[in-house]
Amino acid sequence: MNSVSLSGSLRENVGKKDAKALRAKGLVPCVIYGNNIEQVKFSTDARSFKKILYTPETLIIDFEINGTVYHTILQDIQYHPITDEVLHADFLDVNEDNPITVMLPIRTQGTCPGVMRGGRMNMNLSKLKVRGYVNDLPDNIIIDVSKLQMNQSIKVKDLNIEKMTVLVPENTIVVDVKAPRNAAATEETEEAAEGAAAPAAEAK
């Protein structure tokens, strides 16, 4: 998994008043927990979140706080209901000895023959929830669509997943190709016409 390095400062005080004062300075109150460590309550520049929110990737975030580096992943985030300003963020401390649960982005590769014939490819899942050790987790899940025909799909059980546990039902459709509505209607009309013509031909 890719990583990004950020910095933070320990919070001297904790509470709504302190949190409001931090936000007024352009800072976001945060906390790191997990792996039996004592909670680390800190603040970081609100602008730092651009690096971790405006990307499809799931990142390892290395926070340097008062000389100590914490390897984390974003666990939860709270937004202002009107302005979408980041109000608070929770980060989970990670290490190579303990598995973690993450959402990995899904990417497609190859030319889809179903699309070449006029079909529309639908990505039903953009990320896949998995559990595994951080050193075994890839940057994303790659799906080969070079054999995906019209009205076919690729399900979770069809994916080549190694060293991870997939936390999604195996029959969940990840990507499929549907025929255009007008093409499907034309096909149904043709099939109906063929079915009606057959008895007429037998009657002769």
- Model pLDDT for residues 153-194, shown as the tens digit of each residue: 999 999 988 899 999 999 999 999 999 876 544 444 445 445
Helix ranges (H only) for the chain are 16-24, 50-53, 113-116, 181-203
Choose among 23, 89, 107: nearest CA to 52. Answer: 89
Q: Each residue of 59-105: pLDDT tens digit? A: 999 999 999 999 999 999 999 999 889 999 999 999 888 999 999 99
d(CA 142, CA 101): 18
User: Could you report the per-residue pLDDT of 8-55, keeping only the tens digit for each?
Assistant: 999 988 888 889 999 999 999 999 998 778 899 999 999 999 889 888
In three-state secondary structure terms, 10 is strand
Give the predicted TM-score (pTM) of the model.
Answer: 0.76
